[in-house]
Structure 1
Amino acid sequence: MSTILLAVDRDEDRAVAQAESIVDLELESASTRVRVVHIFTNNPEGASVTQLGAVRRAKAVLEAAGFDVEVEGRSGDPVDEILDAADEHDADVITIAGRKRSPAGKALFGSVAQGVFLNTNRSVLLCSERDA
């Protein structure tokens, strides 16, 4: 069985684009498990991951295509938590969505996509912003 880790932020359109990119790969859904993960960096209200529209919509797209989907909420640094989740679930592929940022924006705020890509030996599927 293959495992795909789909790391989503709060943007629903990006999450749907990520889910659709998995569906477009024409994988055998019966032998592919998808884990939708959202990393909370600030969650003072104590929201549950199942309350996020992005998680619900990505899950719905994947389940409609026949995938076994689990959801998970984590807290902390997004790069570290995505990599830890991939390790814990022995993910074959990590999928993330990129966002356009200026070079200065990347330097000041970092890039989760870049951090994941540069710090893993796992395959990474990057869904570009224009796809979202």
Structure 2
Amino acid sequence: MYHVLLPVDIDEARARAQVEAVLDLPGASESVRVDVLHVFEEIDVPADDDGRAFIDELNRNLENLRELPQTVDSVVDELEDAGVETSVHSVTADPASAILEVAEDFDVDAIVIGARRRSPVGKVLFGSVTQAVILESDRPVTVAPA
């Protein structure tokens, strides 16, 4: 079974492109398993030592208070309709770091990440999260442009 991490944000076009990239994998409905991940960004404010503990606790609890974006449901529905096994996960952290950590923890075979289409000048750089994942990942990364 080929194991893919699919980090999904709130952009529907990127999510659709990511689903298409997964469904284009050989034998997707029979031999691909997808962990869909949404990362809630941490609250990161300067705090003294006493305040840092409060911010850390707040970040841990925020995940329970937030709802996953509609894009996560859309991705899961499309993949499951195509016969792809899925699981959904969320974390509160720095997005690039969380994607890389979850990929390692779940021992995925590949990451399929979305990226915005850019102007010719903008094509020099990917977005900061996409770029960090590409540069720092120890496993294959497929970029699905939206």
The TM tier, using the shorter chain, reads 0.7 to 0.9
- Aligned residues, how many? 123
Q: Residue 54 and residue 28 in structure 1: after superposition, are their counterparts in 2 closer, same or farther (change >3 A)?
A: closer
Q: For 1:66, what is the secondary structure of its paired residue?
A: coil
1:48 paired residue number: 67
Once the two structures are superposed, residues 90-116 of structure 1 have per-residue CA deviations (whole angstroms, 9 ceiling, x without a partner) of: 11010111123866xx6xxx6111100
1:89 paired residue number: 106
- TM-score (ref. length: structure 2): 0.75
CA shift, 1:121, in A, is 1.7
Is the contact between residue 94 and residue 122 of structure 1 (CA under 8 Å) also seen in structure 2?
yes
Q: For 2:78, what is the secondary structure of its paired residue?
A: helix
* Alpha-carbon separation, structure 2, partners of 1:36 and 1:23: 14
Q: Residue 26 and residue 63 in structure 1: after superposition, are their counterparts in 2 closer, same or farther (change >3 A)?
A: same
Percent sequence identity is 38
Q: Which amino acid aligns with 2:5?
A: L
Once the two structures are superposed, residues 22-50 of structure 1 have per-residue CA deviations (whole angstroms, 9 ceiling, x without a partner) of: 1122324233210010110158682133x
Q: Which amino acid aligns with 2:108?
A: A
Alpha-carbon RMSD across the aligned residues, in angstroms, is 2.3
Q: Give unpaired runs (5+ residues) of structure 2.
A: 44-61
* Alpha-carbon separation, structure 1, partners of 2:78 and 2:24: 11
Q: Which amino acid aligns with 1:35?
A: D
Identify which range, 4-13 or 36-45, moves more after superposition.
36-45
* Alpha-carbon separation, structure 2, partners of 1:48 and 1:89: 23
1:48-87 map, 5 Å = 48-49=67-68, 52-87=69-104
- Which runs of at least 4 in structure 1 moved beyond 3 Å after TM superposition? 42-45, 100-103
Q: Give unpaired runs (5+ residues) of structure 1.
A: none
Q: Which amino acid aligns with 1:85?
A: V
Identify which range, 68-77 or 27-36, moves more after superposition.
27-36
Q: Highest CA radius of gyration, 1 or 2?
A: 2
Q: Which amino acid aligns with 2:21?
A: S
* Alpha-carbon separation, structure 1, partners of 2:78 and 2:104: 25
* Alpha-carbon separation, structure 1, partners of 2:27 and 2:134: 22
* Alpha-carbon separation, structure 1, partners of 2:13 and 2:133: 21
CA shift, 1:119, in A, is 0.2
2:51 paired residue number: none
